[in-house]
Amino acid sequence: MQSDRLPSVTIAEIGELALIERLKPFCAEGMVGDDAALIDVEPGYRLVVTTDVLVETVHFSDRTTPPFAVGWRAAAANLSDLAAMGAMPLAITVGLGLPGETPWPWVEALYQGMAACLKTHGGAIIGGDLCRAAQRTVSITALGQVRPEQTIRRDAAVPGMSVVVTGPHGASRAGLALLLEELAVEVPTPLKSAWIKAHQQPVPRFDAIARLHQIIQPGEHFPPIAGMDSSDGLANALLQIAHSSSVGMEIERSRIPLPAQLSDTVGAETAIEWALYGGEDFELVLCLPPNLADRFTSAGCATPIGTVTPTKTVQLISDANGPGISLTHQSFQHF
């Protein structure tokens, strides 16, 4: 939670060097102080690097995202990209652009959120950069490692693969709707809390990747796997994988997992719209060989929602006999 210490002190009053000293306790010991960080990668692994930028009024605001949640979401978004590659986390660096009048407690709570996410899911802060800016900007670069044969890529899908997702979709969009007071109906407190938490503190699915590795027995050939995360929307992920792999997909609408009581609360059409295009659910969308998909779903790690086809179009199928509806890019776009 946000600290209430020194409520009147701003980072301009603290100064850059003193601010860095205050941030050192959130970082891995001995990492901050040189021009760059040094980390070891185990033999036989590839380094995986991803960067994500969050800008105030574009990705977060005080109305919907307190600073602790900004920090958690910033870390989780990058960790989710590592999970989408099949990698495990090593570390992150943090770049901050801040107006001088930013209160120190806001920055402290931001780092508390990042540190809490990393403590839960892995990795450590090993450095970064600070600068003055017209609006608050958080840029994170995350580092992970993966064995080459276990890398998940968007271009590895082939016809006949099963399409699975690691969890329900639409909860984050429901949480945002609650924070923006868009819902005209009363939502029970447990649901409200769950949906808001899904929006403010998403979970990178390293647990699903670890379980996938456990299901593939030692000595068993690790098959090609296609996938990415659904942070920009489930429909976007399906379309991106299909485009990268030059394939199509048939997705069964009734199989798409939704949060409990979402359809009852907002209606079936809005629920499926939020699941497909709401974004920021941070689940994994994977294309697996059918036998591996069966084992993965039987272990309770995912839900099968469709099949990879050679058609190069992504169709949402409502029933066995009805015509498919082509999915489109309606999710959040930066430009």
| pLDDT number for residue 322 | 63
Diameter of the chain measured on Cα atoms:
67
230 and 133 inside one domain: no
Q: Could you give the CA distance from residue 36 to residue 9 in angstroms, rounded to a whole number?
A: 29
CA distance 84 to 283: 9
Q: Is residue 293 part of a domain?
A: yes
pLDDT of residue 12: 87
Q: Are residues 171 and 102 in the same domain?
A: no
pLDDT of residue 219: 79
Secondary structure (DSSP) of 124-144: -EEEEEEEE-SS-EEEEEEEE
pTM above 0.85, yes or no: yes
Kindly state whether residue 120 falls inside one of the protein's structural domains.
yes
Residue 3 included in any domain: no
**Sheet of 248-252, strands arranged across:** 152-153, 225-229, 284-288, 162-165, 303-309, 248-252, 314-317, 325-326
Number of domains, the chain? 2
Give a yes or no: residue 269 inside a domain.
Answer: yes
2 in a structural domain? no
Q: Are residues 136 and 241 in the same domain?
A: no
Q: How far apart are CA 100 and CA 87, in angstroms?
A: 37
Residue 23: CATH number of its domain: 3.30.1330.10
- Which two tokens mark 14? 């603290």
**b vs e for 82-106, b when ≥16 Cβ sit within 10 Å of the residue's Cβ?**
bbbbbbbbbbbbbbbbbeeebbbbb
Query: Residue 186: beta bridge partners?
Result: none
Residue 72's DSSP bridge partners are none
Asked whether residue 49 is assigned to any structural domain, the reply reads: yes
Is the torsion defined by CA of 312, 313, 319, 323 positive or negative?
Answer: negative
Whether residues 142 and 157 share a domain: the answer is no
How many Å apart are CA 63 and CA 156, to the nearest integer? Answer: 40
195 shares its domain with 166: yes
Q: What's the CATH number where 305 sits?
A: 3.90.650.10
Separation between Cα atoms, residue 196 and residue 207, nearest integer Å = 22
What's the CA gap between 79 and 90, in Å, rounded? 10
Query: Residue 256 is part of which domain span?
Result: 151-326
pLDDT along the chain (335 residues), means of 10: 58 84 85 70 93 91 94 96 96 96 95 98 94 95 94 96 98 96 92 96 97 88 95 95 96 96 96 96 97 96 97 87 79 54
Cα–Cα dist 65/47, whole Å = 32
